[in-house]
Amino acid sequence: MKRLPGSVRRAIRARYYDIEPRAWIGKRGLAESVIEEINTQLEKDGILKVEIRKGALISTGMDRKALAERVAELTDSELIDIRGKRFILFKPREGWERYLRRLERKASAQRREEKPVQKVRLDIANFRKKFKKGGRD
């Protein structure tokens, strides 16, 4: 389930694409201990890169995308990016409701601040008189 707007997802992906993986899914697949570790890391940092080992693909019989989506579902996190055998999960530390409310307030404040550009009519003759340099008349 996608909760974040595309602009936020892109910003998170751009900021965290080069972090190192701190959790691995191995031959035990999606065991409780693996999900608990991923949850612990997400609660601590809010963002986590997970690496899928070959044994996980064999033992679960799922492809990488399905496995990543299942992990995101089990941990109540947002799947930000899948690249090869690694994927990035995001879960706000303050909880989804507060985070999404804050995003909405920020977006509405930006909409209010946008003002139309004023058209300026330029009078060339006055401009030349005002900024005329010494020399020929």
Least confident of 42-46, 52-56, 126-130: 126-130
Q: What is the pLDDT of residue 89?
A: 96
Q: What is the pLDDT of residue 114?
A: 66
- Cβ–Cβ under 8 Å, residues 55 and 101: no
Q: Is pLDDT above 70 for 53?
A: yes
Going by pLDDT thresholds of 50, 70 and 90, the confidence category of residue 124 is confident
| Domain range summary for the chain, segments of one domain joined by + | 1-131
What single string gives the DSSP state of each residue in 3-36?
Answer: -S-HHHHHHHHHHHTTPPP-EEE-TT-S-HHHHH
Going by pLDDT thresholds of 50, 70 and 90, the confidence category of residue 127 is confident
Q: Which residue has the tokens 């996190």?
A: 77
Q: Is pLDDT above 70 for 134?
A: no
Q: Which CATH architecture has domain 1-131?
A: 2-Layer Sandwich (3.30)
Rounded-to-integer distance, Cα 65 and Cα 111, Å: 35
